[in-house]
Amino acid sequence: MADLDTLLATAPAGSKDASQKQTHADQVFAALDKIADSKIDVTIDAMTPDHGDVLLKYVYKGLETPSDRTAKLFMWQAKLAEKFGVGSIVRVLSDRKTV
């Protein structure tokens, strides 16, 4: 969880450097892959709303291209929406600062 918290706190949302953003996204996805499905709720419960919004941005970024982690990303999306509500989804989709 500490790795994920650090990655979410240092997300390059305002950056225009695509390679930096992709490298950071790959690190976030690697951190998510390390978290067991049974620990998703515990991980999300420990998050602040701001970190939840940033993670949701990464989830949507990961869903842009189908992969073997798509099902797990949908699980994360559902749990984030359950905890932070529709407002989080609206904030993420309307925010111009992408990750």
Question: Which tokens go with 95?
Answer: 């925010």
Output the domain CATH number for residue 47: 1.25.40.190
Here the tokens at position 1 are: 């969880």
pLDDT at 1 over 70: no
Is position 26 within any domain? yes
Residue 8 lies in a domain: yes
Whether 99 is covered by a domain: the verdict is no
Distance (Å, rounded) from C-alpha 22 to C-alpha 39? 25
Domain count, the chain: 1
- DSSP string of 36-62, one letter each residue: -GGGHHHHHHT--HHHHHHHHHHHHHH
> How confident is the model over 11-22, as a mean pLDDT?
95
Type of residue found at 27 = Q
Is residue 53 domain-resident? Answer: yes
* Full domain range(s) for residue 31: 2-94
Q: What is the pLDDT of residues 30-75, one digit of tens each?
A: 999 999 999 999 999 999 999 999 999 999 999 999 999 999 999 9
pLDDT of residue 41: 97
Indicate if the pLDDT at residue 20 is higher than 80. Answer: yes
